[in-house]
Amino acid sequence: MKLRVRYFASLREAIGHAQEEISTASQTVGQVRSELLARGGKYDCLARDKSVRLALNQVMVDEDAEVPVNAELAFFPPVTGG
């Protein structure tokens, strides 16, 4: 299935682009994250030991969320105020 993946703030800077479309057979958000992490290099910023938030179709989710067809998955660092 096709999935649009978006990266925000420092993750966008680390990965080098704001979004991409991927083809995946992953069923959950966690599986998609693992697939991206397997690419290594710049995708290491998505590591599970980092503070990264996940949103699926603009709703906050955890890694167990099922990915529907033609979904949008967003990764972003926690927001801090100032």
Residue 60, CB-side half-sphere exposure with 13 Å CA sphere: 5
Predicted local distance difference test score (pLDDT) of residue 82: 54
pLDDT digits (tens, 9 = 90+) for 43-60: 999 999 998 999 999 999
Which CATH number covers residue 18?
3.10.20.30
pLDDT digits (tens, 9 = 90+) for 14-32: 999 999 999 999 999 999 9
DSSP string, 22-51: EE----BHHHHHHHHHTT-GGGGGG-TTS-
Query: 20 CB contacts (<8 Å, ≥6 apart)?
Result: 4, 5
Predicted local distance difference test score (pLDDT) of residue 22: 97
In a domain, 41, yes or no: yes
In a domain, 16, yes or no: yes
41: DSSP letter? G
pLDDT digits (tens, 9 = 90+) for 2-17: 999 999 999 999 999 9
In a domain, 52, yes or no: yes
Number of domains in the chain: 1
The boundaries of the domain holding residue 60 are 2-76
In a domain, 10, yes or no: yes
Residue 24, CB-side half-sphere exposure with 13 Å CA sphere: 25
* Of residues 78 and 5, more confidently modeled: 5
Q: Distance between CA 48 and CA 81 in Å, rounded?
A: 23
